[in-house]
Structure formats: structure tokens, C-alpha cells
Copies of this chain bind each other. A is one copy, B any other.
Amino acid sequence: SRSINLAVIPGDGIGQEVVAQGLKVLSAVLPQDVKLETKEYDFGARRYHATGETLTDADLEQLKQHDAILLGAIGDPSVPSGVLERGFLLKLRFAFDHHVNLRPSKLLPGVETPLAGQPEIDFVVVREGTEGPYTGNGGTIRGGTPHAVATEVSLNTAFGIERVVRDAYARAQARPRKKLALVHKNNVLVHAGHLWTDIFAKVGEEFPDVTTEYMHVDAATIYLVTQPERFDVIVTDNLFGDIITDLAAAISGGIGVAASGNINPSGAFPSMFEPVHGSAPDIAGQGKADPSATVLSVALLLRHLGYEAEAARIEEAVSVDLAERVGASARTTDEIGDALAVRAAG
């Protein structure tokens, strides 16, 4: 009989509330014969304040036992900027080699967008997750003096680029339009840029039916707001991916509905699924958070584990629910979760 052994990390702020809805919907869609086991972990600001720890080797050993991880949100104003981000989120992405950071953007019917004319938006960003300027390389000399110098080093390897580029080509090939755009800044960041560009061209030979284009990251932000229908699959570096996926979320309904997967396609370590939004401490505990992004992240999780039909049912449920919101009165986090669970159960 089948089973899913899930690590659940509610985290900080609204994390608890939205993860509860994610689990509700997950239980509702799973076939009878699939045994769902969950184990909750208390990572985040509370644990950091209590113990000074963000993510220990022992924690990683435990998390490794699971089939996948569902995360709510990590981050709190009481913790200095960077501590939880680097000490937990990035540490986990690097430790579990989550090199495919998958961020779909789809503007669903009825959903508000800041763009005029309700454009067609349906693309996926494949953001590299383990290299680039995110490796923590760099340092400061003469800090606090007028002679301070700080560096940040972006590290890029053929190994790391090739695997994420190949993953992106495969995703593009599996979609009807079969289009893939490489986003970088190869006219300025020439070393990393040429490595990305060369590997992009070389791997492309294996996917002759995929149409490709190259775009500078600055130009990409223009096209995202003027011609978002142009995009199908985008592959890009860790930092550029961070920036353009927030913009992508903003134009396709906001971070309230933006899901993401931190995926290790090899399966050597569990993949992690999380909403793109943060912990939103200003609205935490008030039942105001939209759980849709977390519920859609559960769909990505199910698809990753091979439950395609169940993933599609969740996505359909969210789509219908969002369309029905137009003109309707606001519901609580819990009410939206209930509605999605009923609908996705089918």
C-alpha cells in the first residue's frame, strides 16, 4: 500500500494558519489507500529565540527521512534580517540540493492583476536554487570604517547550470507551446553569463523541438508587464529568479496565490514546497491570510510525488474558488480551506 511521510514546518506568522489548510486539502484529495503520516517541526523564530538554533545537523538527519516537506513561512521582525533566511531557508535548500526552484505563474479567471486588459499569463520559472550569488561567499574588511569594502561572490558551475537547464528544457518540451527563455545579464556579468549562454545552447541540441530565446534580466521585467503572454518556461539564475518570480507573482494574482517547489529531481533528498509569500506578521492569527498559495504548493508536492490527478483536482478547486470570490464577501483562512477541501475531494 502507498504512503506519504510528510515533514510539516508551519514556521512563523501566518505559516501555522495556511499550513493547516494545506494539510486539510491534502487529506481530502488523497486516495483511500494512501497512508498519510505527518510530523511537525517547530523551526523558525520561536525556536531560534529559545535555543539560538535555526537548523542543526540532527534536524537535517530527521528531515531527510521524509518523502517531502511542506513549509508555511519563516521569518519574524524580532530576528535580525538574514538570520532565519540564511540559517534556515537557504541552508535547507543547499543541504538538500534543491536545485530546481519551480515557480509557476498563471493568471486565473476572475483574479485581479495590476496589469490593464487582463492578459493571458501562464508560464513557469525554473530558478536555479543552489548557486549564483546565494552561496554566502564574500566578506567585509574594515567594516564600520570609511574604508570598508564588502564583496559578494557569485559562484556558477557547468554542473549546476547544466542540470537545471536540462530540467527546464524537459518542462518546456512537455508543454504545448514548447518555448524556453534564458534570462541573465550576459552583456555585463560576462563570465557567468557566457557559461549560462553556452550551456543553454549546447543542451538545446537535445531538444530540437523547443523554441528558445535569450533575454537580459532588465528587459525581462519590461516584457513581464507589457507582454507576459510571451513567456512559457523561463530558466534563470538564483538571484534573477528571486527578483522576477516576485514580479511574476505580482502580475498573476499576487503572492496570495503564488506557489513554489524547491525540488531535488534526483530524489536523493526530500523536496520542499512552500508559498512564495512570507510570514506576514501584521495579519498573523487573524484568519485573514489566503491559504491558496499553500494549497497550490500542496498540488506541486503531489505532482512531484506522482499524484497527478490529485494535483490537478486541487488546482481546479483553487481556480473555481478564486473565480467565485468576485463580488462575494470575504471569508476566513479556515473557510477558504474548508471550501477548497470539499471541492478538491471531488
- The answer to whether B151 touches A153, judged by C-beta atoms less than 8 angstroms apart, is yes
Q: Is A36 an interface residue (CB 8 A)?
A: no
Indicate whether A151 sits within 8 Å of B146 (C-beta atoms), given known contacts A186-B82, A250-B226: no
Q: Is A284 an interface residue (CB 8 A)?
A: no
Interface set, chain A 122-147, CB cutoff 8 A to B: 133-134, 136, 138-140, 142-147
Q: Tell me the complex Cα distance, A193–B145, Å.
A: 15
Whose C-beta in chain B lies nearest to the C-beta of A132?
Answer: B152
Q: Does A304 contact B (CB under 8 A)?
A: no
Closest B residue by C-beta to A193: B82
A155 to chain B, nearest CB (A): 6
Nearest B residue (CB) for A227? B114
Listed residue (A188, A193, A194, A239) with the most chain B CB atoms within 10 angstroms of its CB: A188
A158 within 8 A of B: yes
**3 A-B pairs with least C-beta separation:** A218-B246, A148-B158, A221-B247
Q: List 16 A-B contacts (CB under 8 A).
A: A81-B186, A82-B186, A86-B188, A90-B188, A133-B188, A138-B154, A138-B190, A145-B158, A149-B155, A150-B194, A151-B156, A152-B192, A153-B153, A153-B154, A185-B239, A217-B243
